[in-house]
Amino acid sequence: MKSIHFLPLTIGIFVPIILLSYDYPMKPFNRQHKIIATLGESRGTRFHNGVDIMPKTWVSTDSFWLVYSLVSDTMLRITYTGGDTINNGVRDKSDKYSYLHIYNRVDSATYVTAFVDTIGRIYASQAHCHFIEKDSSGRWINPLRPEGLSPFIDTVSPIIESVSFKRQGSGAHLDKNNLNDSVDIVVRVYDPRVDTTGGNAGRGIGIYKIQYEILDTLKNPIPGAINSYQFDSLPLNDPYARYSLVYHDSTDWDSGRFYYWVTNAPFSNIPNQYWNTKQHINRQWYEPPAESIEVAKFKDGKYWVKVYGYDIRNNADTDFEIPKSNPPRNLADQIPNNFQNSKFSRVEIYKDLAKIFRYLGILEFRHLTQREV
């Protein structure tokens, strides 16, 4: 069944905005269920291609563990060979929705009525239904978008745990006091799970969107010095190769530890990217670097690296990093006065606690408080 939501506008008359969302495939259909994994989340060598929905109760024999089709349609079984039975499931014949980790399945080619005929029961050992949605081109899409599973309330922000810098290509760790040339930024961040009312339910799941931006000393964004990507879908092309452009090797999804390469662009034609600290002011990041400080995009001075992590309901955490500056001119006798040898140094890491104080209403609070690195 489709739910119709009316979102009143605050100005003028009430204008209904109709969003066609859909209910959950287990009872109670029109109530939020706990989601314990998201689209795009790490699964070691691949992306998780759906969401994991928990039943309302822990009693595996009760009716809350029965799964129903979201659409009235002919159902087909998804059966893996090799005894991999817990991953078996059912999908509708148009392949729009799939439901995995279920047994007592309907026979293939059975016509079922949505939310009336059960299509199977969740395995006790799995305790969740792996739910997949595809668009008409066969691309995996995010069932938590506003037009997806409803209701889904999330009031809890992602948590950025650390930011680190790596050499593009080799992945070698870069001292934050010695950044130069082609720099990759790795962000450890997770999104807390939410319970059936949208509150914090502990352990982390993958985030929806990640972003970094380079700001000048006064925190004005530097044009073009920004990158973000988000999991509205999964990359359609070579998703296995692109997995490693999203998740750094330190990722341990089973423990809820996710390290994202925020400098990459897994959905673009050039997925493997980096922050070029020596970018030419009139060239792209991948083109030959600036020959001198005069034509450098990042001139002498301090810069902020601002990192954001968002969940799909737009809750965000943000971390600032401040790499300093190409070497000051008065060091010209020690360091060749040549931009190609310049580097960022004296990097300090800050958390934007000012934001929290602003929230409390201390508007004049502008200082940043150093946090543990």
Interacting residues with Zn ion (CB under 5 A): 52, 130
Instruction: Give dist(CA 122, CA 33) in Å, integer.
Output: 14
Name the residue nearer to Zn ion (CB basis): 72 or 79: 79
Least Å distance, CB 48 to Zn ion, is 6
Name the residue nearer to Zn ion (CB basis): 143 or 266: 143
Cα–chain center distance at 184 = 17
Least Å distance, CB 50 to Zn ion, is 6
Can you read off the two tokens belonging to residue 197? Answer: 């009312």
Least Å distance, CB 49 to Zn ion, is 8
Can you read off the two tokens belonging to residue 166? Answer: 């790596």
Name the residue nearer to Zn ion (CB basis): 52 or 184: 52
Specify whether the CB–CB gap between 144 and 35 falls below 8 A.
yes
Least Å distance, CB 213 to Zn ion, is 32
Helix residue ranges per DSSP H, the chain:
239-246, 353-360
Name the residue nearer to Zn ion (CB basis): 191 or 319: 191
**Which residue has the closest beta carbon to Zn ion?**
130
Least Å distance, CB 240 to Zn ion, is 17
Reference 163, options 320, 40, 302, 311; nearest CA is: 320
Report the sign of the C-alpha dihedral through residues 9, 14, 16, 22, in that order.
positive
Read off the DSSP letter of residue 358. H
Instruction: Give dist(CA 301, CA 217) in Å, integer.
Output: 7
Least Å distance, CB 98 to Zn ion, is 11
Specify whether the CB–CB gap between 265 and 229 falls below 8 A.
yes
Name the residue nearer to Zn ion (CB basis): 54 or 349: 54
Name the residue nearer to Zn ion (CB basis): 112 or 132: 132
